Structure 1
Amino acid sequence: MSKAADEKPDLRAKGLEDFSAELTHNGHRERLRERFETGGPSALPDYELLEMLLFRAIRRGDTKPLAKALLARFGSFAEVISAAPERLQEVKGVGPKVVSELKLIQAAAQRLTRASVINKPVLSSWNAILDYCRAAMAYDETESFRLLFLDKKNNLIADELQQRGTVDHTPVYTREVIKRALELSATALIMVHNHPSGDPTPSMADIDMTKKIIAAAEKLNILVHDHIIIARRGHVSFRNLQLI
């Protein structure tokens, strides 16, 4: 018997194995979808929810190993979808399609939480404000400074990212903060920035900067309600710490 003839049974067997594996993976995907539809998100642990998100980017095959690898690398579901694209692609199996899907989910989450606070009284929606800020900033790898501008009824009229900095510093210019508040006819504002280190404890530089902005704002009858620091391990409020 020729060598080619010897190879044919092996090829057929390989094809059957691939077909069987594909049926297994498809069955697993359908079972996950059924559990999600029946029990909602709480019926799935993080890795299975992440598996389902990967279905769109990886049309065939088993996404469980990649989901578990991403969680092992970044620590949590939120940290996976918030990770920088270049860091995501350091994980074997993550390509542009996977990054695109994860960033789409992150954008949707931020848009959803933002919708819950815009044009609404901030002081009666404080938990929603914190949820939005955490979704937008908690897992960033560089510091950024955000301003929430309020009208005379304390409705949120604008949410603007003012500056991006380095891993442990972002420049904040008092003049620019006050100028933008006047342009928007804001009567109050809330400052928000993140600490990529994970520790939300304010630094002396944070405290000094806050005092300068409060002093400048008071001269123009603009009230600074709070300065919030967001981090992976929680948040702090300057008002709660009696720093304002």
Structure 2
Amino acid sequence: MEALPAVEDAAAQPDLWRPVARPKVPAPHYVGHRDRLRDRAAQGGLSALPDYELLELVLFRAIPRGDVKPLAKQLLARFGSLAAVLGASAEDLTSVKGVGAALALDLTLLHELSVRAAKEAVAKRPVIASWSALLAYVKTALAHEAREQFRVLFLDKKNQLIADEVMGKGTVDHAPVYPREVMRRALELSASAVILVHNHPSGDPTPSAADIDMTRQVADAGRPLRIAVHDHLIAARDGVASLKALGLF
């Protein structure tokens, strides 16, 4: 009887039988970034962060995983500034790749909160005495609107704000204005004065000839009713123009 071949020692088996050590894959560069950014915000304060990092903190809420820094920078590049990002419409925001309905809602919510906070500084006090607060409110509310919007601030005898109403929406360079409708609404609210407000989506608040003519028409309509037009403010990205301060009516 022939002898059976000797069984080789396991240690002598080919490497094919041994587990292969896989090389370690480095973690993505953004791993831990969210915690680091939150820590920096907590330690140094939000005011110490650049705009794109503030925007990242907002994006974290709607986008729970992944690197959102590129999206934050893309939004700033697309709209031009942090204020413009917050002032953009939900439709314009969702046109940016990576921005869904939930994130667009978060951003428009922040804008609405800032508008209401600015309005609180104007309400329940004489508007004339808080002019800087009024200009800040007008710019926050209208400077980044993509379409022209005509609004009227209705004031009582103490020049306190009764109502702020949109009375016309239009295209990128025109919103319809009807002086009689402005005065009809002023009578309904028992207003003693009004401040006209509209925006220039072009970014330049310089009054046009049509703006000046319309202001004079509204003032003429209010004169026999003893309803004064205190001013006409034009809001744009580059600032707020006052027709009264410019001596244009």
Structure-1-length-normalised TM-score: 0.89
The alignment partner of 1:219 has SS state of: helix
Distance 2:228 2:182 in 1: 12
1:201 aligned onto 2:211: no
Q: Is the 8 A contact 1:118 1:158 kept in 2?
A: no
Q: Is the 8 A contact 1:117 1:129 kept in 2?
A: yes
Distance 2:158 2:31 in 1: 54
Superposed structure 1 runs of 4+ greater than 4 Å apart:
none
The offset of 1:32, in angstroms, is 1.8
Residues 210 and 9 of structure 1: CA distance in aligned 2, closer, same or farther (over 3 Å): farther
Distance 2:67 2:114 in 1: 26
Distance 2:214 2:174 in 1: 12
Distance 2:167 2:106 in 1: 27
1:134 aligned onto 2:143: no
The offset of 1:104, in angstroms, is 1.1
The alignment partner of 1:97 has SS state of: helix
Matched residues, number: 230
> Share of identical aligned residues, percent?
56
Of 65, 76, 81, the match for 2:81? 76
The offset of 1:9, in angstroms, is 7.9
Distance 1:44 1:64 in 2: 13
The alignment partner of 2:246 has SS state of: coil
Distance 1:161 1:35 in 2: 41
Partner of 1:105: 110
Of 168, 176, 190, the match for 2:173? 168
Deviations 1:68-105 (A, max 9, x none): 11111111001111112222222221111211111111
1:116-135 alignment runs, 5 A limit: 116-135=121-140
Q: Is the 8 A contact 1:229 1:236 kept in 2?
A: yes
Q: State the AA in 2 paired with 1:152.
A: K
Structure 2 unmatched ranges of 5 or more: 1-19
The offset of 1:27, in angstroms, is 2.6
Structure-2-length-normalised TM-score: 0.87
1:95 aligned onto 2:100: yes
Q: State the AA in 1 paired with 2:95.
A: E
Q: State the AA in 2 paired with 1:120.
A: R
Q: State the AA in 2 paired with 1:238.
A: L
Q: 180-189 or 31-40: which moved more?
A: 31-40
Q: State the AA in 1 paired with 2:236.
A: A
1:32 aligned onto 2:53: no
RMSD: 1.8
